[in-house]
Amino acid sequence: MYVEGGLYTDIDVEALKSIPEFIPRTFDDAEIDMVIGIENDEPKFKNHPILGPVARNFCQWTFLCKPQLPFLIKMVENAVARLHDLAKEQS
């Protein structure tokens, strides 16, 4: 996704809208770098005993983006750093 951009979706996702409908007509497609879905945004779950702070989160099962977004490379760097930290903690 970082190198080429495009659309990612899990194999078990059903398209309820066509890809051109992902971005509302009120926005200029050229100005949109990334579209990320909201998986859960229920204010009543803010202090949920099980979900806790993850009660509000982005979904990762479908997103689209332009190539070489700094946001994506930062996510990769953070994930790799976290893996290194976990390896140090568990060795």
Kindly tell me the burial class for residue 65, based on how many C-beta atoms sit within 10 Å of its own C-beta (0-12, 13-18, 19 or more): buried
Confidence of residue 37 (pLDDT cuts 50, 70, 90): confident
Q: Where are the domains of the chain?
A: 6-90
Beta strands, E only, the chain: 6-9, 34-41, 56-65
Q: For 88, what's the count of Cα atoms within 13 Å in the CB-facing half-sphere?
A: 6
Instruction: Read off the pLDDT of residues 63-79 as tens digits, 9 standing for 90 and up.
Output: 999 999 998 999 899 99
Give the C-alpha separation, 75 to 32, whole Å: 19
